[in-house]
Structure 1
Amino acid sequence: MKGGGFVQSDRRQIQTAVLGRVDSEEPLLLPLEAIELDAFRHWHEHDTFWCGLLLGGCGGQLTTKLYTDRVCHFAHHPDPDGLPQVCGRHARGVASADHLYVKSAAAAWLHGRGEQARFDYPQPDGAPIGSVVDIQWRRGGLRVHLDQAVTPQWDADTEPVLGVSVPVDRDTLIRRWYVHRVRLDSEGTARRVRIGTEAFARSTEWFALDECEMTERGLSTPAVERIIRARRTPPPSRWPAGKTKKVPQPQARAQALLSRLADVRRLGSVVLVNRVCGEIAVLRGVEQETQTQLTGAVESANRWLEEQTEARRDLFSRLNQAVNSQRTRQVRRLLAHVNAAASRDRTEAENAIVDAAAGHLAALARGQQAGAVAGRAVANGSGAGHERVRNILGNLRRRDGDVMTAEMRSLVKVLIRAAADAGDRVTAGQAAEIADWQERAGLNKPVPAAGSLAEARAAAAQRTRNKQDAAGQQKRTRPLSDRVARRFWITRKCPRCHAVKGRNCVNDDRTGTGEVRLIPHSERLKPILEERKVKAKQRKRQLRTLDVTCPDCKRPPGATCASPSGGVHRSRAEHAQELNRKEPRS
């Protein structure tokens, strides 16, 4: 919030949602193209979409927006009271639900191996929800880092799995032999998980999750087996067969150490350079010429180590200055560099600098979160009480049914207290709805109202009719040129002015000027709209996942799967797709 306290709504496009309810863990990715969105809407015609809590969203219901001149996206339903819609959700792009896709894929993968896992989305030091996914089962655990918000802990009980943007230093790669990475690829309206294995001096190899296994060493891929075999296999001889050079053992050892020192210098590993220099220092029994080579190599390595020490000292000094000067961008960049290049053998002073930098970023994140909450309250024209009224009413609407449960009655009690806190900020429409819930719950506590109950209900009904009339009028008066994108009509000949394909329409007023029109003739657009209507009528109704019996848990159509993740089994979705391919339904 800046200046006089005016908060602007976040205009970034929302590409992901959750299905069915606000606390759902079933993610959805919206198609970007209009032609794909038509099929998506048909497939989910009986479903609801939500700005889910596990996406860091506001809990509001979403609808789909179709465009032919830009990408399609989700959007919030209009506020019933006409207030501006404000959502504090930070991640809105294609990857914003990746943590839910990881959870779903991992649950299915472990279930297929006879394991039941617990999943959590922790937020250490104020990290955004979804940065980390914790997976725990009886024999082990994984911590998936999807971004750089949380530093991996390599000596913890859970094995880190890094997103493609998370850095790892050379020493860690060498010490651990390999690390695992995760990436998600878009396939239609889903995201597919792939696991990569990265080793030093090797490119990352990627595998489908079904190609991976859990072993005593932890997560394993086909690449891991090759890396382990390579490390256990003795190195090949340096000399061709039949030309073995007979050298005394100390001499051969000295030559190997010289070559190894040159290799680790190129790697830039301070730890390994120190280790090789220590091995050279205790080597005895070499010839004088070789000893001179060893001494020169160690002296050169020591100068290099001094340069690295100075560079490390300068890096920590710049990080400390950035923290003291409150330069957040530099703090974030330098801290990532420090974690990648100097994660081991830190001094107390270096650890203090790193802790101060991490604390600065955590405090900033907490401040931004608090500012977003305060901003939403200001933009809604109310305090915390009114915001709670809106959220609770939305929750009750989603739970509405024929039976008033004990949980809903408790929620109505909370609603009445929140309404009392909001006072005269409760609108007439809200007051009418609160009074209705109060009556259904059998509660007689007074509710702040703007006017009588009858007047409030009448005003709310009139506003609804006005909105419906305005929406219908807008749809009827929308120009044809706004309903058909240029890329569709430009490929057709105009029956009125006879403009050929690829040419704009021209005025046909017999003046002979041939002036180009800014919009095409309606005769060029109407056939396209008619064809769309015919295709919409001919479009076949396909089976949804819940329309079929689950081959895995045998749950009947309409019933949710007995899945540890709360979602549907993959075999059920594949079965529905197979039936649609064989027997399309109208």
Structure 2
Amino acid sequence: MRGDRRQIQTAVLGSADSEEPLMLPLEAIELDAFRRRHQLDTFWCGLLLGGCGSQLTTKLYTDRVCHFSHHPSPDGQPHICGRRARGVSSADHLYVKSAAAAWFRNRGEEADISFAQPDGAPVGSMVDITSRHRRLRVHLDQAVEPVWDDDGIEPVLGLSVPVDRDTLIRRWYVHRIRLNSEGTTRRVQIGTEAFARPTEWFALDTCTMTERGLSTPAVEKIIHSRTSRPAPAWASSRAYKFPDIELRKRVRDVESQARDLLRELAYAREREAVVVVARLSDQIAEVTGVKEETQEQLATAVADAERWLEQQAEVRRSLLADLGAAVAAGDTSRVRTLLTHVNLTAVPDGTEEEIRVTGAAADHLASVASAAAERVHALLQDLRRLPRNRPEHQLRPQVQQLIQAAAQAGRLLEQRQQIQIATWKARAGLDKLAPVPARTVVPRTPVERPQQRPQLHKQVARRYWIKASCPRCRAGSGQECVVDNGSHPRQVRQVPHDERLKPIIDARRERQRNQPKPPPPWRVYEVTCPDCGQGADARCTTTGGPHRSRVERAKEFTRLRKPRPETGTEA
């Protein structure tokens, strides 16, 4: 297998399973500043980037772009890594998760953010964001086709993901996402695309999350233009002169509004949106001044909608009864299915009985998921104790139990546990390889010159500084830093104060300064060959290079940190 020689532009900071991405500057003059800023940090070919988990180093060039590179193997051969995505956009899913988490934190809200992998999609193709309002599924590439008919999920499309004309017309608009390079990071922008309108782009801070879903300033304009009643164009100087023209124009406006309401009502019924159907029925009942034929159509539509709402209420009562029985019987699968249907037919003024039943169902699923998460933890510990050479067919029963428990645990699983589960599936031969989609080539964006002052918040993960108190704004452990300008109430800062971060960085540097330096790796010809018996500094008797057993012995000595031999001696 030949090594992949494509240049690596992204890495993660600190460890192989880190979620802190960074991008290497492309120019040599900028790489010098980058190295000074991260002189005590380590870079890794992250597992969440699809990498091998090995440590990376920086390569400086003046005649081509700079990039990350793997350390060579102990035998001096180039390191082989199966990482497929290596360009500036290969860590976009990590940047999206980081930006979304900060966006919700600044608004005092919580959100569950994960990297979805339906049908074996590669990690990084999609990001699932679930808040109390809505669930967003960000499609960064074309690995999985967006689902437009699921009321519980709103797709957000990357630049390379297509959307057809009918979908744009039916949904009024769709959201897109793009990431722009700024120094050694990537900034998220949200775009709103509508039929016959150019895509408008906005900074993430200008967007909001509502019951309707993700909203931008462009969405507000689109909805207002589609739902507001056109103002009658009365002109006092012409109204008495041409009354027939003004009357015909007014009739046309009302007729157009009536047709729009009928289309929206039909669309809401198709999606079984009970609340929307009830609201549109009330609006249609208030429409006046239309033709007699149109008035009959409106009355028929309202009567049909009322009958449909009554049927939906009966369906909801039946679903709630079945849900209560499923909770009592402990049928988790049925509880999960019924609760999803009940939520889809939710009404704003639910009864106390409905709240009690749905609450009991949610508590049941939460307890099952918690028990399953503990089961996953125990199974992973058991699997780690097994011999490394255990054959696939002996691993499969335990791994299948692990997969079933993981499916029940759902969002309670940590990202590192999901990676471990995928690894065990592969070792047991239960994984299914999915074709990797072709990525759209995006022109490289010019890189801005980094700021002279070091940005400390990029060097310390939130999970570390949130545990410490801030000496500047007096924020306690577990609290965000606030703007200390005397305002009341004080505004939450997007990044913590440097005074809160500097003690953590100083302590980290002190630990690294006192940590013993690991010995250099063993070279192949420093060990005695188990096959041909050749000693140190003597080549193997084969013509094709050293024996494989000799290479493996050098790797094993390096892993065990065995002291290097003295000159002229054998190991």
Query: TM-score normalised by the shorter chain: which range applies?
Result: 0.3 to 0.5
Greater helix content: 1
Q: Give the structure-1-normalised TM-score.
A: 0.45
The structure whose Rg is larger is 1
